[in-house]
Amino acid sequence: DAKTTQPDSMESTEGETVHLPCSHATISGNEYIYWYRQVPLQGPEYVTHGLQQNTTNSMAFLAIASDRKSSTLILPHVSLRDAAVYHCILRVSSNTGYQNFYFGKGTSLTVIP
Amino acid sequence: DPKIIQKPKYLVAVTGSEKILICEQYLGHNAMYWYRQSAKKPLEFMFSYSYQKLMDNQTASSRFQPQSSKKNHLDLQITALKPDDSATYFCASSQEDWGSAETLYFGSGTRLTVL
């Protein structure tokens, strides 16, 4: 199972910058940190991923701690469309050596107008 | 246009019956997956296929059988349906280039209700 810990829920107001934390204290050196988000009745959507360096794209900024035991997904200027469940996932290896994505409960982000 | 097509979008079945969930991807990916999500529960990994070969199976029950007739096609056959099988079933795919850019893409799901 995924070895990440996230808050169950967070709330923000439109236009604010949101910091979504994720703890992964037992992360291995070759495990990537992925973030996906899911809105009701739809499949998860890729947001971003990283290994050691901070990364940024059009959706978000991913800040990874220097010891890699935690990361923070930063969503600038959130809108109502950013309301979703955000999943922090480690890409782990199965016993066949094949790597899978395992999802946890994630953080449910509520955005208030 | 959706690149991962799942059919049907909604499905109602009676207990004990058999259904097949269809998934086709037009992303040119080599790996395909099935996930299940029951009401208010996390996504649960079920199967992964690579080049039409089963790579991982985390589903305890043999009532769930993936079927891959083509590389871009992975159906899910469910036999002897039970009410507990009611869930949304998501198909996903990835390039299977296990470098830094590997990303899963998901379909919109098939919502199965077993009465």
Residue B72, pLDDT score: 93
What is residue B91's three-state secondary structure? Answer: strand
Say which amino acid occupies A35: W
Residue B98: per-residue pLDDT? 56
Q: Which two tokens stand for residue A44?
A: 């998860």
pLDDT at residue number B8 = 96
Question: What are the residues facing A33 on neighbouring strands?
Answer: A50, A90
∠ CA A94-A29-A71, nearest 5°, is: 100
Residues in B touching A105 (Cβ below 8 Å): 42
Residues 6+ apart with CB under 8 A from B55: A94, A96, A98, B31, B48, B49
Q: Chain A contact for B45, CB < 8 A?
A: yes
- Which residue ranges of chain A lie beneath pLDDT 70? 1-2, 92-98
The pLDDT of residue A41:
83
* C-alpha separations of B68 from B39, B47, B54, B62 in Å: 27, 12, 9, 16
Which residues from A are below 8 Å from B34, CB to CB? none
- Measured in angstroms, the CA of B52 and the nearest CA of chain A are apart by 14
In the structure encoding, which two tokens stand for residue B2, read together?
């959706």
pLDDT at residue B2 in the model = 74
**Model pLDDT, residue A103:** 85
Q: Which of A5, A64, A101, A108 to mutate to test the interface with B (most CBs of B within 10 A)?
A: A101
Query: What is the Cα gyration radius of chain B?
Result: 14
d(CA A97, CA B12): 37
Give how far B7 is from chain A: nearest CA, Å. Answer: 14
Give, for all 115 residues of chain B, the pLDDT tens digit. 679 999 999 999 999 999 999 999 999 998 899 999 998 788 999 998 988 889 889 887 999 999 998 989 999 999 999 999 999 999 999 887 655 557 889 999 999 999 9
Chains A, B: CB pairs < 8 Å: 54
The pLDDT mean for chain A works out to: 90
Task: Tell me the one-letter amino acid at B17.
Answer: S
Q: Give B4's strand partners.
A: B25
Chain A positions in Cβ-Cβ contact with residue B104 (cut-off 8 Å):
36, 44, 46, 101
Residue A4 CA to residue B15 CA, distance in Å, equals 36
- How far is the alpha carbon of B13 from chain A, nearest alpha carbon, in Å? 19
Residue B17 is predicted with a pLDDT of 97
pLDDT at residue A29 in the model: 80
